[in-house]
Amino acid sequence: MMIDWGIPLGQQKDILASQGHLVDKAKIAAGIPRFMPVDLLKQKLSAYRDAGISTANGGLLTELTLKQGTYDAMLAEMVEVGFDAVEVSENLVPLSAAAKTEAVCVFRGDPATCTDSIRPPIPI
């Protein structure tokens, strides 16, 4: 896995050209996708995709949106810009196994197994 802390697009492409064969997943860390210009984010995700690397957001952004009750909106934005996966972590917000499972289920769009336990905002 490669963690992208906002490296410039040119440097990202150089890294992928020299070492991309060693990377299967990349995440744009923390809340960086929210602060990066959308066109740049789409270019970065496209470069990873072109190299055969799947992409995910950083888990802190997921935690924040679960806490705020804006997870669905975040997922819609992630899909629109081209992320392949969602990282569900508990760096700052403790999540039950059921809440983590639900968050992944909602991302995958598998309503048959989703329980809606993550809506409204999760309590801390």
- Using CA atoms, how far apart are residues 71 and 59, in angstroms rounded to an integer? 12
Would you state the pLDDT for residue 113? 66
Q: What are phi and psi of 28, to 5 degrees?
A: -90, 110
Instruction: Give residue 124's pLDDT.
Output: 45
pLDDT for the residue 119: 55
CATH class as words, domain 2-108: alpha beta
- Cα separation values, 58 from 6, 41, 51, Å: 12, 13, 20
Sequence-distant (6+) residues with CB within 8 A of 109 are none
Give Cβ neighbours of residue 94 (< 8 Å, ≥ 6 apart). Answer: 124
pLDDT in tens, the chain (124 residues): 999 999 999 999 999 999 999 999 999 998 899 899 999 999 999 999 999 999 999 999 899 898 888 998 999 999 999 999 999 988 888 888 888 888 888 888 776 666 665 555 554 4
Position 121 scores a pLDDT of 54
Residue 24 confidence (pLDDT): 96
pTM value surpassing 0.85: no
- Residue spans per domain, the chain: 2-108
